[in-house]
Amino acid sequence: MPLYVEKKPEVLITEEGVRTDGRKPYEMRPVRMTVGILDKADGSAFVEWGGNKILAAVFGPREVHPKHLTLPDRALVRARYNMAPFSTPERKRPGPDRRSVELSKVIREALKPAIFVENYPGSVIDVFIEVLRSDAGTRVAGVNAASLALANAGIAMRGLVAACAVGRVGDFVICDPNHDEDMWGDADMPMAMLMESEKITLLQTDGPMTEDQFREALKLGRNAIRFLYEMQKEALKRPYQVIERSVRGAV
Output the smallest distance, CB 108 to another protein, in A: 18
The dihedral formed by the CA atoms of 125, 80, 183 and 51, expressed in degrees to the nearest 10: -70
For residues 106-145, which are near another protein according to CB under 8 A? 114, 116, 120-124
Check residue 46 for interaction with another protein (CB under 8 A). no
Taking CB under 8 A as the rule, which mask of x and - marks residues 153-192 in contact with another protein? xxxxxxxx--------------------------------
Output the smallest distance, CB 177 to another protein, in A: 28
Quick check: helix, strand or coil at residue 167? Answer: strand
DSSP 192-220: EEETTTTEEEEE--BS---HHHHHHHHHH
Strand order in the sheet with 199-203: 172-175, 161-169, 187-194, 199-203
Output the smallest distance, CB 23 to another protein, in A: 29
- Which part of the chain contacts another protein (CB under 8 A), choosing from 62-70, 104-112, 129-137, 207-215? 62-70
Which stretch of DSSP H or E encloses residue 139?
helix 138-152
Phi first, then psi: what are they for 209, rounded to 5°?
A: -145, 145
Residues that bind another protein (CB under 8 A): 42-43, 60-63, 70, 72-73, 114, 116, 120-124, 151-160, 195-197, 232-233, 236-237, 240-241, 243-244, 247-248, 251
